[in-house]
């Protein structure tokens, strides 16, 4: 199975500042993922030509989709999007907004894959270190997150964690393996001259990870201000259905 996670920056190129959802689509299609977790996805916002990006992406890839609007922009919104080749058995949204800071969130879905049920979490954390620690503690301790403990779990997204402190602290304590370590091998930001490993993947449970890599194609470097991450994996003896 293959997962791609990417902060698509609303489809606006990091250097040329040109909006093109087609570039995003081409990059994703070239990797042929089964699961796609995107951050900074626009819906009906002026800067992205009022495109309904969640609907357009789901329709193009003929995928099951779940959108989590987090921030209101004019008459539209932007947030996180999960696309899945396989049915989504359950879906939940957790607000990670702290005080008056920018609204953030996490998506929690159970995917009915051919290899069993996968608990998949897609998130985009805040800019301040203290805020991120609070957000991870809220996520990992939330009853909706804990209710999926029996299932193998992947937590992916844009963590904005320049110093890579969350992996050795909060996630390690919760039994997660950091798949995008060391950060020097998984630099994703800024796309055109990547220096920081802001986009990360954490795994827990019966997940056999085969390969993790950064997509460094010229198109990916132009399409967003982040580079995508791709994870190839299998579920090892997971539950066969969400109801089991």
Q: What CATH number does residue 156 fall under?
A: 3.60.10.10
Domain, as residue range, for 213: 2-235
CA angle 32, 34, 35 (to 5 degrees): 115
Q: What element of type H or E holds 4?
A: strand 2-7
Record the pTM: 0.95
pLDDT band per the 50, 70, 90 thresholds, residue 117: very high
> Shortest CA distance to 135 belongs to which of 99, 89, 85, 81?
99
CB 38 within 8 A of CB 45: no
When pLDDT is cut at 50, 70 and 90, the band that residue 167 belongs to is very high
Most distant CA pair in the chain: distance in Å? 49
pLDDT tens-digit profile of 65-100?
A: 999 999 999 999 999 999 999 999 999 999 999 988
42 occurs within a structural domain: yes
For residue 171, what is the DSSP state?
Answer: I
Residue 212 belongs to a domain:
yes
Listed in sequence order, the residues at least 6 apart from 36 whose beta carbon sits closer than 8 Å to its beta carbon are: 3, 4, 5, 6, 28, 57, 61, 63, 81, 82, 83, 84
Cα torsion angle, 138, 144, 149, 151, sign: negative
Q: Are 42 and 79 contacting, i.e. CB atoms less than 8 angstroms apart? A: no
Question: What's the domain count of the chain?
Answer: 1
Q: Is residue 216 part of a domain?
A: yes
Cβ neighbourhood burial of 156 (10 Å; 0-12, 13-18, 19+): buried
Of 162, 232, 163, give the one whose Cα is nearest residue 5: 232
78, part of any domain: yes
Average pLDDT over residues 132-150: 97
Could you tell me if residue 243 is inside a domain?
A: no
Across the range 227-243, mean pLDDT stands at 76
**Would residue 33 count as lying in a domain?**
yes
Q: For residue 152, is it within any domain?
A: yes
pLDDT at position 241 is: 41
Give the lowest-confidence range in 5-9, 104-108, 147-151, 167-171.
167-171
pLDDT of residue 237: 61
CA distance between the termini of the chain: 21
pLDDT value at position 100? 86
Under 8 Å between Cβ of 119 and 140? no
Does residue 241 form part of some domain? no
């Amino acid at each position: 199975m293959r997962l791609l996670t990417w902060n698509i920056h609303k489809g606006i190129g990091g250097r040329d500042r040109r909006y093109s959802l087609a570039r995003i689509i081409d990059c994703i299609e070239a990797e042929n993922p089964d699961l796609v977790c995107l951050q900074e996805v626009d819906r009906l916002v002026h800067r992205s030509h009022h495109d309904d990006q969640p609907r357009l992406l789901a329709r193009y890839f003929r995928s099951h989709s779940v959108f989590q609007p987090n921030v209101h922009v004019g008459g539209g919104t932007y947030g996180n999007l999960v696309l899945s080749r396989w049915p989504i058995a359950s879906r939940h949204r957790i607000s990670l907004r702290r005080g008056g800071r920018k609204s953030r969130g996490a998506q929690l879905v159970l995917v009915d894959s051919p290899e069993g049920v996968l608990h998949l979490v897609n998130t985009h954390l805040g800019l301040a270190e203290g805020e991120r620690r609070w957000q991870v503690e809220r996520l990992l301790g939330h009853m909706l997150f804990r209710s999926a403990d029996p299932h193998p779990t992947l937590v992916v997204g844009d963590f904005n964690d320049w110093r890579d402190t969350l992996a050795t602290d909060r996630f390690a304590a919760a039994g997660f393996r950091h798949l995008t370590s060391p950060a020097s091998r998984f630099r994703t930001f800024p796309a055109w001259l990547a220096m920081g490993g802001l986009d990360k993947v954490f795994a827990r449970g019966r997940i056999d990870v085969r390969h993790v890599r950064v997509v460094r194609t010229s198109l990916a470097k132009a399409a967003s201000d982040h580079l995508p991450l791709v994870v190839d994996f299998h579920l090892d003896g997971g539950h066969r259905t969400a109801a089991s």
